[in-house]
Amino acid sequence: MRVRAIVLALAVSAVPILFTGCNACATKPQSPEQVRQQTAAATAELKDNAKAVAQGIRDGLTQPSPDKPLDLNTASKAQLMSLPGMDDSSAERVIAGRPYSSEHELLERRILSREEYNRIADSTTVKRQPGFVAGAPLQNLK
């Protein structure tokens, strides 16, 4: 699925260059300066498109999903906020309530509402760390 998206994005990025090449054959000769300017413009557009494709791929690979869930005990605030419906205050509540022994503690300890939990449940997990005691503050653990 991701490979198709990557190939499609690269194909879409290459279309402007192909059209530029086709137009060059059908028009009257241009000065070297005009060709240079058009080539520079096409190259700049392709460069911007390639950056956008790369950023999209990077985002897709790092986004939490059921195949690659986010660990609630170790996720950063930014990672938590990438989850659907998670805002700044919700992410801070999740961090403040660490450590967790299961995802359901978010509901049991009233850190998230049922609606908020349902939005992120498929994309999260809790990996038990050695020495973690459920409900104990992280700073007291060594």
Tokens 């020495």 found at:
131
* Contact criterion met (CB below 8 Å) for 52 and 8: no
Pairing label, strands 70-71, 124-125: parallel
Across 95-113, average pLDDT = 91
CATH number at residue 82: 1.10.150.320
pLDDT single digits (tens) 48-92: 888 877 777 766 655 665 667 889 999 999 999 988 889 999 999
Tell me the whole-structure pTM to 2 decimals: 0.48
Quote the CA–CA distance of 85 and 108 in Å, as a whole number: 19
Q: Which of 62, 79, 97 is the last residue of a domain?
A: 62
Q: Where are the beta strands (DSSP E) in 60-114?
A: 70-71
| Same-domain pairing of 81 and 135 | yes
Tokens 């509901």 found at:
107
- Number of independent structural domains in the chain: 2
Residues 6+ apart with CB under 8 A from 95: 77, 80
| Same-domain pairing of 25 and 50 | yes
